[in-house]
Structure 1
Amino acid sequence: MSDSTSLPLRYVGNCGVKVSNICLGAMTFGERPKAGVALPGQCDEELAHSLLDKFVALGGNFVDTADVYSGGVSEKIVGSWLKKQEREKIVLATKVRFPTGTGPNDVGLSRKHIMFAVEESLKRLDTPYIDLYQTHCWDDGTPLEETLSTLTDLVRCGKVRYLGLSNVTGWQLQKIIDLTKTKPYEPFVSLQVQYSLLCRQTEWELQDVCKREGLGILPWSPLKGGWLTGKMTRDGGAPAGSRAAWADEKKMFLQSTPGFSTYGNDDKVWNLLDVLQSVAKETGRSQAQVAIRWLLHQSAVSSVVIGAKTLSQLEDNCAAGFNNWTLNEDQLKRLGEASDVPIPYPWEMTWRCQTGRKRDGVVPV
C-alpha cells in the first residue's frame, strides 16, 4: 500500500502520541440489550472484527468506544479483537459518565462512579490500560475538583495514559482547563465534540479554546446521521433502514440521528447538499468523503471519528483521510458559505470587532 492510500498520522493536540487522522468509532458494535432501542445497522462481533481488521490494514491505529455503547457490548467486542493485536500499536479510547446501571451512583463523574467504571471498562476491553480516557459529558452533580483529582490518580497509577473531554460548552471547557493549571492535575489533550457541515456551532467558542490551549478536536457525527452522505432526497425522503427513517419512526431525535423531519423542509440544508454534491463530482469523490475531508481542513482537528456498518462504507470513509487528494480554496469557500449559520450575540459583535486584531497561529495567554 502506497503512502498516498494509507491513513496519515497526526498528533493529538499538544501531546506526544500520534493517531491516524481517521478514528474508527465503535458505537455501531453490538446490539443494545434493551429491546426496541437498538439503532439500525448495528454490527455483530464477526462483522465488527472484520471492520477493525480492515481499518488497521488501511493505516488506522485509533479506535474509540464508550462504556455505554450497546450496554458495554461494544467494549467487549473491541476487547476480544484487541487480544489478537499488538497492543502498543493501537491507540484505544473509551469514555465514562452516562448511566451504566439503575443505582443513584451508577452515573456521573464522581470518584465513586469513575473508579468503578474504569475497572469495568478495563475488564471488558481486556487490557491493563486505556490510552485515552474521556469524560463523556459535563456533570453538574460533581465538583470539578473531585473529577479532576480522580482522573489524575488514574493516570498516575498507570490505568490511563491520557485524558480527554467530550460534550461541554465553551465556558465549561475553559474552566476545566484553568483548574488543571491551578493544581497538579493531569492536563487534557483532546475534545471529542459534534462537528460537521451541519453543526458549525463548535466554531463559536470550543474551537478557539482548543487552539489556544493545545487540545486536539475529535469530531463525532461528521456525516450528521447520514444527511451528508447523499442518500437523502427532497422528494424521496429517508431510505428505509436508515437512521433518519428510524428517528422519525421512533420519534427519537438525537444529535447523532436527526430524522428526515428535522431538515426536510429546510431550504438551506438542501442548498448545502447541492453544493456538497457539486464538489463531490468535481473531485471524483463521494459526498461522505468530501464532508469528512472538509473537517480535516479545519484548525485543531486531530482525527475524525467515523462509524461504519459495512466494509465498503468503512473503505469509502477512510479514503477521505488519504493524502492523494484535497479540497481547493474555492471548494472550501463554497462549502463554508453554504453551511454557515447566523452568528448570534455576543459572538457576532466580538468577532466583528476583531478586525485587524487577529494573530496568526496560537494566541499566547
Structure 2
Amino acid sequence: MAQDSTSPVQTTKALDDYVLLGRSGLRVSPLCLGAMTFGEQWGLGANKFESKKVFDLYYEKGGNFFDTACNYNFGDSERFLGEYVSDKRSEVVIATKYTCNTTAMLEDKRFNPNFGGNHRKSLVENLDESLKRLNMSYIDILYVHIFEYRTPIEEIMRSLDDVIRSGKVLYVGISDVPSWAFSRANTIAELRGWSPFIGLQTRYNLLDRSLEFDLQPACAEFDAGIIPWGIIADGFLTGKYTRESTANIKSDYRNQAIASHSKHEQNWKILDEVIAISKEINRSPVQVALNWTQQKPGITSPLIGARTVIQLEENLKSLEFKLTPEQMKRLDDVSRPTDFPFPNSFTDQFDKFIGKNMQVPNKFAPIAAAYNYGRLY
C-alpha cells in the first residue's frame, strides 16, 4: 500500500548514528548540542545545575558533539562544559571558537585590543584561555567565530595550521564567513599543505535560505560539513508567536529578532505551513523546522540549544521521523526566496546556450534545482 503523503517516514535514527564531519574521519552526532545556554551571565541560559541535566540527557542518548565559544556567558559556558566532560574527555568532540574580544565585555578588565580578531596573537591568547576554562589539553575543533575583514587570510590559515601542529587543536572550521573568503582560505590551505576548514557554521532556516546561494555550493566543492545554527529563527518557528501578539512588540534586546521577523508577511506564511504540517503529523513546529533542515543537502549536524531537559527532548524527537517529499516541497515552495542574487539570477537565462539537457555534477544539484539549471529545452 502506498504511503499517505501526509504520514512522515518513521525512523530509528538516534544521536549515536554518527556521521563524518566534512573531509575528515571525525565521527559526530547528527545533532550538535550548543552550549551558549550553559550559564546565566547573558540572561538567556540556565544555571550550572539545569545545564548539567541538559548535558547528561544528550550524552546518555549517545550524543558526543558539543559547541561553545570563548565569549559565551563570559566564559561560564566553557567552564561548565569542561567540568561536565572532565571524566569522559576521550568520548566527546568539543568545538569552541575564537575572535570575540572577551575583555571588551567585562568592566573589571582592562581592554586589550589584541584579544579580539582573527590574527595570530588573538588566536594564541584565546586558545590558551579556552583550554584553561575547559580544563583540557586539546580542542577537537577550533572555529574562527566570524570573518572580520582585518586579518590577511594567509595569516589566519598559517596560524591555525601551527596550532594544529602544536597538538592543541585537532581540526579547524569557520563560522559566519562570506563564500569568497571561505573558498580562498581552503584553496590556500590545500596548495600549501596546511589544514583546511572541515566545517562551516552559518545561519540557516526556513526564513533565511541565503546559505543555498553560494556557501552551500562552496562547501560541496571543498567537501566541508555544514553545521547550521538559528534553525528555529530566534524562536519565531516555535509557533508561540502570532500576528496579534507581535503587533506591538518592542524591538528591544530580547525581542528585536522577533520584531524583525514579524514585519514580513512571507514569514507568517512560512510559519502557517510549518504549523499546518506539524498538526498533520502530530509533531511540534520545532521538530518540523529541524527535520526540514536535517534533510537539506550538505547539512551535517544542525546546532540545537536548550535551557531545559524538556526543550532538549523536543529537539531530539526530530530524529524520529522524516518529512515526506511532498511535505518538504511544501516547505521549500513557501520559503523559496523571491529575489535571487546576481549572478544566480542571471546564469539561468544563459543555461540554454550551453547545451540541451546538460546536467550539472551531483554536488551542485541543489543549486541547479533552485535556479533551474540543466533543465530541458
| Same fold? TM cut 0.5 | yes
Which amino acid is 1:51 matched to?
V
Q: 1:346 aligns with which of 343, 347, 371?
A: 343
Cα distance between partner residues in 2 of 1:129 and 1:348: 45
Cα distance between partner residues in 2 of 1:307 and 1:319: 14
Q: 2:68 aligns with which of 65, 86, 89?
A: 65
Deviations 1:135-173 (A, max 9, x none): 001132211111111110111111111110110111111
Partner of 2:54: 51
CA contact (8 A) 1:155 1:162 kept: yes
CA contact (8 A) 1:170 1:209 kept: yes
Residues 94-243 of structure 1: matches in 2 within 5 Å?
A: 94-101=96-103, 102-237=111-246
Partner of 1:10: 19
Cα distance between partner residues in 2 of 1:5 and 1:361: 25
Cα distance between partner residues in 1 of 2:226 and 2:77: 23
Residues 57-96 of structure 1: matches in 2 within 5 Å?
A: 57-84=60-87, 86-96=88-98
Larger radius of gyration: 2
- In structure 2, relative to structure 1, the CA distance for the partners of 1:251 and 1:302 (3 Å cut) is closer
- In structure 2, relative to structure 1, the CA distance for the partners of 1:15 and 1:59 (3 Å cut) is same
Cα distance between partner residues in 2 of 1:230 and 1:14: 37
Q: Does 1:268 align with 2:266?
A: yes
SS in 2 for 1:72: helix
Cα distance between partner residues in 1 of 2:238 and 2:349: 34
Shift of 1:359: 2.5
- In structure 2, relative to structure 1, the CA distance for the partners of 1:352 and 1:293 (3 Å cut) is farther
Which amino acid is 1:160 matched to?
V
Which amino acid is 1:94 matched to?
T
TM-score w.r.t. structure 2 length?
0.86
Deviations 1:27-49 (A, max 9, x none): 111123xxxxx343x11111111
Shift of 1:252: 7.3
**Matched residue count:** 341
Partner of 2:330: 334
Identity of aligned residues (%): 34
Which amino acid is 1:336 matched to?
D
Cα distance between partner residues in 1 of 2:13 and 2:332: 26
- In structure 2, relative to structure 1, the CA distance for the partners of 1:30 and 1:189 (3 Å cut) is same
- In structure 2, relative to structure 1, the CA distance for the partners of 1:231 and 1:353 (3 Å cut) is farther
- In structure 2, relative to structure 1, the CA distance for the partners of 1:295 and 1:126 (3 Å cut) is same
SS in 2 for 1:235: coil
**262-271 or 154-163, larger mean C-alpha shift:** 262-271
Instruction: Give the unaligned 5+ runs of structure 2.
Output: 1-10, 104-110, 365-377
Shift of 1:56: 1.1
What's the RMSD between the two structures over aligned residues?
1.9
Shift of 1:73: 1.1
CA contact (8 A) 1:271 1:338 kept: yes
Cα distance between partner residues in 1 of 2:350 and 2:235: 37
Partner of 1:290: 288
